[in-house]
Amino acid sequence: MAMRTLARVGFVVSVAVLAMGYGLAANQWGWVPSSVAQRAWSQAEALLTDNPFSYRVPRVYDRKGARTLRPEAVQPGVTLVSSLWKTADGWQPQVRLLDREGAVLHTWTLDADLFAARSYVHGTHLLPGGDLVVNLEYVGTVRLGPCGTVRWRLPKRTHHAVTRADDGSFWIPAQRRGRPTGPLGDAVLPEQLLRVSADGTVLRTIDLLPLLFENDLAAPLFRAHGPQPRGELLHVNDVEPLPASMADAYPRFDAGDLLVSLRDLHLVFVVDPDTGTVRWHADAPFLRQHDPDFLGDGRIGVFDNRPDGTARGTLLGGSRIVVLHLSPDSSPDSTSVRFPTARSGPFYTEAGGTWQSLPNGNLLLGEAQAGRVVEVTADGAPVWEWVRAAQGERVPQVLDATRYALSPAAVAEWPCGADE
């Protein structure tokens, strides 16, 4: 049995390597059939990098499901989460809407035939009426109707985040396919920012590596890994446009400027997408951060992962939410810690993680690698949580968690008609 399993693994890896090799060559030099090669390339990448079992992590919490600690303090609405669920067809990426009790109100299942590749969900945006724009990590973006009809597909290596702009378009991180080029050659994967229209058309592409060099921000690349950096050093994990409704609170920026996070450089910056000018940047006090947000009043909040080499971040104290208070001029900025507080319990995710500032002052926090979503009050006290059910000693990660101002009744009324 062990020999047969090893043989199967060897066969899959061999096919994957051959498919990736041909896919690279076809993509670079236009060999025919490049569309078939592209599907093979996507499938091979998924087999090697998006194995569902590597997506599952050691269990942290013994409990599962939802529990409400202070009903009167919970922000009303439904909670969107993404993860992997084991179905009759095996492990499948799904996006689910949950009520306060953890009951599933709605499910979108992302089948492998959407892009002929297996992957997982990382980056979602729910639209009025039940349409969902969602990334299959490093495989592509798809817009689904409320009952699963595919509105459009974008076969780019999109990943991590989908953020809607004031004009209805979306900003999405991506990696350009093909051979890396630029000042560091093959050392850094070619990360991009894509502006995508509501109908799935790419309207603008911003290449990040030349942007860093042009704005005198390339030094962190070499500080991170010495004179010969290797791997995914840029690793963009979020891009968010400044809404016009908040622009007056940030005198140094304009509406539509982009807030960008590069995890492995510990770098957050704001860039004018029209000119490519970086208007502001910070590389402290966070480590391998995620999900920076404009908060208003000249503030930017950052999910500070703070990995320290321990299983649960015990050396540095776990993950936290850091707020950067931007000065209106050239005077120094200041920082504060919004979470945790003395009333907070343990909270840590080495990678991944989301946070959302809710209308009632609460925070919704995604503890991705613990498979947990928790809502806390302004003083850090937990009022609601939902924990993924474990499979043995492991639990699937929860990479997206967002509260939407919807009622279960409104979700139940989403249409599934002929256009679906």
312 within 8 A of 305, measured Cβ to Cβ: no
Q: Could you give the CA distance from residue 335 to residue 329 in angstroms, rounded to a whole number? A: 16
pLDDT at 122 over 90: yes
The type of residue at 158 is: T
What is each CA distance from 59 to 65, 183, 305, 387, in whole angstroms? 14, 42, 18, 10
Average pLDDT, the chain: 87
Residue 23: its pLDDT value, please? 47
Q: What residues contact 239, with CB distance under 8 A and at least 6 apart?
A: 161, 163, 171, 172, 173, 193, 258, 259, 260, 261
Higher pLDDT, 102 or 19: 102
Question: Of the ranges 26-40, 46-60, 222-236, 326-340, which is most confident?
Answer: 326-340
pLDDT, tens only, 290-347: 999 999 999 999 999 999 999 999 999 999 999 999 998 878 899 999 999 999 999 9
Nearest to 275 by CA among 329, 328, 206: 206
Phi, psi angle pair for 186, to nearest 5°: -80, 0
What is each CA distance from 140 to 20, 56, 120, 229, 341, in whole angstroms? 17, 21, 11, 27, 38
205 within 8 A of 194, measured Cβ to Cβ: yes
pLDDT at 42 over 50: no
pLDDT at 12 over 50: no
C-beta atoms surrounding 406 within 10 Å: 21
pTM of the shown model: 0.87
* Rounded mean pLDDT, 19-34: 47
pLDDT category of residue 220 using cuts at 50, 70 and 90: confident
pLDDT at 37 over 90: no
Residue 415: its pLDDT value, please? 85
pLDDT category of residue 49 using cuts at 50, 70 and 90: very low
Q: What percent of the chain has pLDDT over 70?
A: 82
Q: Could you give the CA distance from residue 311 to residue 149 in angstroms, rounded to a whole number? A: 41
Q: Could you give the CA distance from residue 152 to residue 142 in angstroms, rounded to a whole number? A: 6
pLDDT at 50 over 60: no
2 within 8 A of 9, measured Cβ to Cβ: no
pLDDT, tens only, 240-292: 999 999 999 999 999 999 999 999 999 999 999 999 999 999 999 999 999 99
pLDDT, tens only, 255-264: 999 999 999 9
Residue 221: its pLDDT value, please? 82
Residue 239: its pLDDT value, please? 98
* Rounded mean pLDDT, 185-203: 89
pLDDT category of residue 179 using cuts at 50, 70 and 90: low
Residue 59: its pLDDT value, please? 95
pLDDT category of residue 112 using cuts at 50, 70 and 90: confident
